Structures are given as structure tokens and as C-alpha cells.
């Protein structure tokens, strides 16, 4: 009897620990919604979505989120155009070409790229990459989207390469062997059999890298600038959603002021983007999971 | 040239391209670490570790920053480790398949994808204002604990799942209760995997900058914290602050502090890899 009671109490405590994760989600949504709600009492949603200026910290306040979104998408696009080709090539190489021993060494080494703190990448972007870019493009600004995007691309390579390689390895050997049996080369087998068979896993890895790049903060806060502007010019200073939140947090903005609320409205926008992407990847994984006998 | 020959050449070429792509990632990493060492190594000495922040770069040190990082590391672990492992065990051993466990599962994978800066906004509002912890170590550690909770839960689940069912059956057969089975059999058998995940999660927390800035951790703290309610700074924030300054001396300081931060990160990752390999070898079900 005593033992049964004890077991029940332990189970309850474990269950409560699991519930903390639900509370965290509720907390995030509540915080973002409630502060954004009071933000939208003062600024109309139409202005927020359509105005092409974001100047909440200036005397002439404008609240159009578009410049922050364009900055975020610009750095993300640059990052993905580095990480996708490199990451996918690496994944195919590690899975289809590299001998097992080579892969077992190279894969964990590459994953170090994702373990390096992002503030360190920020240093790299500002102190090494931007000066280097200046020698090629003399008119590039000291803060720019290109440098931040390129370095962010290097950071997310392992997200693409490791997850895609896992997906390729999950394809049954028999498919690969059948293709070889028909006389195909490794390259043909890789891109006509293995990659299509692992496509849902590869797409998921790309979406997760995308979502990661959108939410990345320190690299862009350090190297991309603090000037929200609606442009896709990679050579000028811009500002991302995340960098704006950092900028306001570093200053002395009183609680309850409109400026304070802007970081929650910006955070809400960011959350909506990543939430949609994460659920898209979840849905693809469930829906297109290849079942092999 | 025959078609087959061309295909073979293409095949070879891609093999080389793949190797080059893989190595280029590693070479960039190596080049980068080399740069940091070149910039910062000469600045690194005992005084740099012992000195308080200063307006003069050659007098500034990272004492408050590394003490803050140490506090955050210990406190975050204290909160996240028991919670994460408990939640992982619940999901794997107790939760019945159904709506509730599906909900928990989707929820955890969603949380793992939430950008860290959003956790900062959560911490600022809930821990900072509602619970009135301000910008204390406690508020920062709570925030980071929530941030790494999904990583620990997922690692615990995988480690527990890898324990073969025969072990559970044998334990039940000997009359052990569910909790006795978990505590005496399953946890010891899955400790390697759990510790690997926990160490990786903590190393992630140590490198985080953005959520702590949002919670209100300061760049300039005159004294090292001495209790959980004190204001604090951490290494990544100190580095960020130094990078943002124009004088070259601060860039050198930043590089030196990065060496320490990378050292901590790599040592923790190394321990995690070592643990994983050791446990994988030792246990052959």
C-alpha cells in the first residue's frame, strides 16, 4: 500500500516535469500575445504590415515591420545560398562516397561548426570577413548583410549536411545495390535514386536550417548593422528582427513604453515565421515518411 | 569518348568535389581558430583572468565574466538536469500513447525550434517582471534552463529507449516495482546517453548571448556576483561588448576571451563525444 502510494507520487512528479514544457509554450505565446496586443492598441496592424519605415527609437516614429523582415530574409537567403549547395554536396559525399572510417572522422569534426558560440562567429564576420570583402568590393559598408550572411551560412552547414546524411543513410541498401546492379555510377545512383528516396528528410533539414537562420541573432547583431531599411542590397547596413530586439534590450527602455512593446511585436513576427516552418517540417516528416520493407 | 567513360569521369569529379566541400568547411574553421589564437593568445595571462572590467583595454579582464558564466552553468544545470531527465523518463516509460503524449511530443519539438531570443523575451517578462527577479543570475539561469530543456528531454528519451525490454522484464519478474526498475536498472543503463545530452545542452547554454541580453544581463558589472540574486555578466556578453567598441585593444581582448570560451565549449563537447563512444563500446546488448 505504502509502496503503491510512493509510486503514484513519483509518477505525478515526473508528469509535472513534462508539463513544464507545455507551460513554457503557453508562457511564450501569452507573453508575446499580451504585449503585442497592447502594442496594437497604439499602432494599427495595417501600418505595422504596410509601412516601409521602422523608426520606433527616433522622434518621428514609424512602425512598419517590412524593413526588419527584408533584412532578416536577406541575411537568411545569403546564408542558405552558402549552406545548401555545400551542405548537400557534403551529405552526398559522406553518405555515398567517403569510406566509413573517413566519414566517422569528418562528420563529428564538421558538427563542431554548429557547436561554436554564435558571438564567436560574429567576431569572425566583423573582424575577418568584412575586411576581406572590402578588398574585393571597395564600396561595401563596414556593416553589411553579405558578411553576416556568409558566416551564418558556414555556421548552418552541419544542420543541412548531418540531417541530410542521416536521411540518405536511412534509405535501404537494397535500393543502392539495385542501382549499381543496373550499371549506374555512384553519381547516378546518388542523384537519381538516393536523393529522391531521401527527399523528405533532406527537405526537412533545409527547412530547419532556414528556421535556424531566421532566428540567428548575434552574428547579425554584430556584423549586419542597426539600420532597418527595405532593401535587398547586400552591401549596405541593414537590421534583422533579432538584431532589433538586441538593440532595444541593450538600451534603457522603460517597461510599458511603446518602444518596450515593439520588441514583443517584433518577437511575435519572428515566432510566427519559425512556428510555421517548424510545423511544416513536422508535417512533411509525418506525411512523406518513406516506408520500406 | 564513350558515354560510359564520361559518366565515370563525372563520378570521380563529384567524389573530389565532395571531399573539397567537406574539407573547405573544416579549413575555414581551422583558419578561423588560427586567427583567434594569433590575435588573442599573447593577451592571455593570469592578470587577464583576474582583472575587473575597465575602460582601458590593457587593464580590462574577464574576472566578472567567467565567474558569471560559472554561476550560470551551475544554476542552469541544477534546474534543467532533474526536470529534463524526469520529463524524458515520463514520456518514455509512463505516458500512454494518446492525445496527451502526442501533444507533449509536438510541443517539445516545437520548443526546440523556437529561436533563443524568444526565450529571452519570455524570461524578461515572466522571471524578470512577474516573478520580480529582475536581471539577476536566477532570472538568467531559469531562462537558459527552459531553453535547453528540450535538448535534455530528447537525449534522455533516446537513451532510455535504447535499453532493451528484456532488462525491464527481468526486473519486473524479480518483483521490482516500476520505479525500482527505472531507478535501479534503466537509469544506470542509460546514464551514458543522458550525460552526453546534458553536457551538450549545457555547452549550448554557456555559449548563449542573446537571451541573456534580453533578460537584462549587463555588459558592465563592477564586481563578480556572490549570490543568485546578483546582477551578472557572462563571457559571451563581455565578448560582444568588446567587439562593439572601436579601439583595437578591445578586439584583442575579445579574441583572448573567445579562446577561453571556445576552450570551455570544446572541452565539454570532447567529454560528450568521449562518453558516447565509451558507453557505446561498453554496452553490447
- Give the pLDDT confidence of B81-118 residue by residue, as tens digits: 999 999 999 999 998 888 888 888 889 989 999 999 99
Q: What is the pLDDT of residue B285?
A: 54
On chain A, the residues whose CB falls within 8 A of the CB of B129 are 255
* B185 Cα to chain A: minimum distance (Å): 16
pLDDT tens-digit series, residues B240-262: 999 998 888 899 999 999 999 99
Does A253 or B283 have the greater pLDDT score? A253
Q: Is the pTM of this model over 0.80?
A: yes
Q: What are the pLDDT digits (tens) for A52-85? A: 899 988 888 899 999 999 999 999 999 999 999 9
Q: Are residues A112 and A250 in the same domain?
A: yes
B128 and B32 part of one domain: no
- Minimal-distance CA residue of chain B relative to A16: B87
Q: Does the structure show a pLDDT above 80 at A46?
A: yes
Q: What is the mean pLDDT of residues B52-63?
A: 86
Residues B118, A271: C-beta atoms closer than 8 Å: yes
Q: Do A187 and B14 touch (CB under 8 A)?
A: yes
Label residue B239 by pLDDT band (50, 70, 90): very high
pLDDT of residue B159: 92
In chain A, which residue's Cα lies nearest the Cα of B180?
A: A7
Task: With CB atoms and an 8 Å threshold, state whether A3 touches B177.
Answer: yes
Arithmetic mean of pLDDT, A97-102: 92
* Window 2-21 of A, Cβ < 8 Å to B: 3, 6-7, 10-11, 13-15, 17-18, 20-21
Domain with B76 in it: what CATH number? 1.10.3720.10
Q: Are residues B153 and B54 in the same domain?
A: yes
Query: Cα distance from B285 to chain A (closest Cα, Å)?
Result: 22
A107 shares its domain with A220:
yes
CB–CB of B21 and A90 under 8 A?
yes
**In a shared domain, residues B96 and B34:** no
Window 62-101 of A, Cβ < 8 Å to B: 86, 89-90, 92-94, 97-98
- pLDDT tens digit string along B172-224? 999 999 999 999 999 999 998 899 999 999 999 999 999 999 998 887 788 88
- Reference A194, options A175, A215, A214; nearest CA is A175
Same domain, B14 and B109: no
Q: Which domain holds residue B80?
A: 47-282
Q: What is the distance in angstroms between the Cα of B273 and the nearest Cα belonging to chain A? A: 9
Say whether both B7 and B26 belong to one domain: yes
Pairwise CB contact (< 8 Å): B243 & A126: yes
A10 and A150: one domain? no
Q: Considering the domain boundaries, does residue A104 fall inside one? A: yes
Residue A16, domain member (yes or no): yes
> How many domains is chain B partitioned into structurally?
2
> What's the complex ipTM?
0.93
Q: Which residue of B has its CA nearest to A286?
A: B106
Number of structural domains chain A divides into = 2
> Between vectors from CA A224 to CA A256 and to CA B217, what angle results, nearest 5°?
40
Residues of chain A in contact with residue B239, where contact means CB-CB under 8 angstroms, are 119-120, 123
Tell me what the mean pLDDT of segment A119-147 comes to.
94
Q: Are residues A155 and A25 in the same domain?
A: no
Question: Is pLDDT above 60 for A1?
Answer: no
Give pLDDT, residue B281: 63
Name the band, by pLDDT with cuts 50, 70 and 90, for residue A290: low
Q: What is the pLDDT of residues B17-44, one digit of tens each?
A: 999 999 998 999 999 999 999 989 989 8
pLDDT, greater one: A219 or A282: A219
Encode chain A in three state secondary structure.
Answer: CHHHHHHHHHHHHHHHHHHHHHHHHHHHHHHHHHHHHHHHHHCCHHHHHHCCCECCCCCCCCECCHHHHHHHHHHHHHHHHHHHHHHHHHHHHHHHHCCHHHHHHHHHHHHHHHHCCHHHHHHHHHHHHHHHHHHHCCCCCCCCHHHHHHHHHHHHHHHHHHHHHHHHHHCCHHHHHHHHHCCCCHHHHHHHHHHHHCHHHHHHHHHHHHHHHHHCCHHHHHHCCCCCCCCCCCCCCCCCHHHHHHHHHHCCCCCCCHHHHHHHHHHHHHHHHHHHHHHHHHHHHHHCCCCCC
Within a domain: A50? no
Domain membership of residue A136 as a residue range: 66-287
pLDDT digits (tens, 9 = 90+) for B112-164: 999 999 999 999 999 999 999 988 999 999 999 999 999 999 999 999 998 99
What pLDDT does B214 receive? 95
B273 interaction partners in chain A (CB closer than 8 Å): 108
* Å between A53 CA and nearest CA of chain B: 23
Looking at the domain assignment, is residue A54 inside a domain? no
Inter-chain touch A119–B240, beta carbons under 8 Å:
yes
Residues A71 and A19 in one domain: no
**Same domain, yes or no, for B67 and B37?**
no
My answer on whether B209 and B271 are in the same domain is: yes
Question: What does the mean pLDDT of chain A come to?
Answer: 92
Domain assignment present for residue A60? The answer is: no
Q: Is pLDDT at A43 greater than 70 in this prediction?
A: yes
Check residue A292 and give its pLDDT: 62
Same domain for B157 and B235? yes
Same-domain check for residues B10 and B121? no
Q: Above 90 in pLDDT, residue A41? A: yes
pLDDT of residue A291: 64
| Mean pLDDT, range B214-242, rounded to an integer | 89
Amino acid at each position: 500500500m505504502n509502496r503503491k502510494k510512493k509510486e503514484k507520487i513519483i509518477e505525478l512528479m515526473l508528469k509535472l516535469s513534462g508539463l513544464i514544457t507545455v507551460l513554457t509554450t503557453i508562457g511564450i505565446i501569452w507573453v508575446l500575445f499580451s504585449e503585442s496586443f497592447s502594442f496594437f492598441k497604439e499602432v494599427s496592424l495595417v501600418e505595422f504590415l504596410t509601412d516601409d519605415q521602422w523608426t520606433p527609437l527616433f522622434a518621428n516614429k514609424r512602425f512598419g515591420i517590412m524593413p526588419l523582415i527584408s533584412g532578416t530574409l536577406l541575411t537568411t537567403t545569403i546564408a542558405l545560398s552558402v549552406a545548401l549547395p555545400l551542405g548537400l554536396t557534403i551529405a552526398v559525399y559522406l553518405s555515398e562516397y567517403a569510406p566509413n572510417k573517413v566519414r566517422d572522422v569528418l562528420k563529428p569534426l564538421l558538427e563542431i561548426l554548429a557547436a561554436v558560440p554564435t558571438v564567436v562567429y560574429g567576431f569572425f564576420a566583423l573582424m575577418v570577413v568584412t575586411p576581406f570583402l572590402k578588398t574585393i568590393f571597395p564600396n561595401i559598408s563596414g556593416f553589411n548583410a553579405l558578411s553576416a550572411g556568409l558566416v551564418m551560412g558556414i555556421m548552418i552547414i552541419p544542420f543541412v549536411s548531418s540531417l541530410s546524411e542521416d536521411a540518405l543513410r536511412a534509405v535501404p541498401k537494397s535500393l543502392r545495390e539495385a542501382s549499381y546492379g543496373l550499371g549506374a555510377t555512384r553519381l547516378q545512383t546518388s542523384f537519381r535514386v538516393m536523393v529522391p528516396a531521401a527527399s523528405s528528410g533532406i527537405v526537412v533539414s533545409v527547412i530547419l536550417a532556414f528556421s535556424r537562420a531566421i532566428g540567428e541573432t548575434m552574428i547579425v547583431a554584430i556584423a549586419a548593422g542597426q539600420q532597418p531599411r527595405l532593401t535587398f542590397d547586400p552591401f549596405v547596413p541593414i537590421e534583422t528582427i533579432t538584431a532589433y530586439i538586441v538593440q532595444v534590450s541593450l538600451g534603457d527602455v522603460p517597461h510599458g513604453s511603446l518602444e518596450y512593446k515593439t520588441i514583443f511585436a517584433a518577437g511575435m513576427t519572428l515566432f510566427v515565421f519559425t512556428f510555421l516552418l517548424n510545423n511544416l517540417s513536422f508535417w512533411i516528416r509525418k506525411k512523406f515518411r518513406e516506408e520500406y520493407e | 569518348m564513350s558515354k560510359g567513360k564520361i559518366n565515370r569521369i563525372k563520378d570521380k569529379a563529384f567524389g573530389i568535389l565532395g571531399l573539397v566541400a567537406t574539407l573547405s568547411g573544416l579549413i575555414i574553421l581551422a583558419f578561423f581558430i588560427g586567427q583567434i589564437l594569433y590575435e588573442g593568445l599573447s593577451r592571455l595571462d593570469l592578470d587577464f583572468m583576474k582583472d575587473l572590467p575597465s575602460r582601458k583595454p590593457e587593464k580590462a579582464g574577464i574576472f566578472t565574466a567567467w565567474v558569471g558564466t560559472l554561476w550560470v552553468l551551475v544554476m542552469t544545470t541544477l534546474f534543467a538536469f532533474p526536470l529534463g531527465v524526469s520529463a524524458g523518463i515520463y514520456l518514455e516509460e509512463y505516458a500512454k500513447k494518446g492525445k496527451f503524449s502526442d501533444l507533449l511530443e509536438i510541443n517539445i519539438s516545437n520548443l526546440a525550434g523556437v529561436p533563443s531570443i524568444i526565450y529571452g523575451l519570455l524570461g524578461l517578462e515572466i522571471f524578470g517582471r512577474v516573478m520580480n527577479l529582475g536581471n539577476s543570475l536566477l532570472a538568467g539561469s531559469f531562462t537558459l534552463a527552459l531553453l535547453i530543456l528540450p535538448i535534455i528531454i530528447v537525449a534522455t528519451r533516446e537513451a532510455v529507449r535504447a535499453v532493451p525490454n528484456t532488462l525491464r522484464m527481468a526486473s519486473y519478474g524479480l518483483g521490482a516495482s516500476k520505479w525500482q526498475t527505472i531507478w535501479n536498472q534503466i537509469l544506470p543503463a542509460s546514464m551514458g546517453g543522458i550525460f552526453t545530452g546534458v553536457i551538450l545542452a549545457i555547452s549550448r547554454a554557456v555559449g548563449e548571448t542573446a537571451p541573456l541580453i534580453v533578460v537584462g544581463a549587463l555588459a558592465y558589472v563592477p564586481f563578480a556576483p556572490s549570490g543568485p540574486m546578483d546582477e551578472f555578466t557572462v563571457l559571451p556578453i563581455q565578448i560582444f561588448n568588446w567587439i562593439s567598441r572601436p579601439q583595437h585593444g578591445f578586439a584583442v581582448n575579445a579574441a583572448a576571451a573567445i579562446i577561453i570560451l571556445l576552450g570551455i565549449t570544446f572541452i565539454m563537447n570532447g567529454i560528450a563525444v568521449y562518453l558516447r563512444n565509451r558507453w557505446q563500446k561498453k554496452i553490447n546488448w
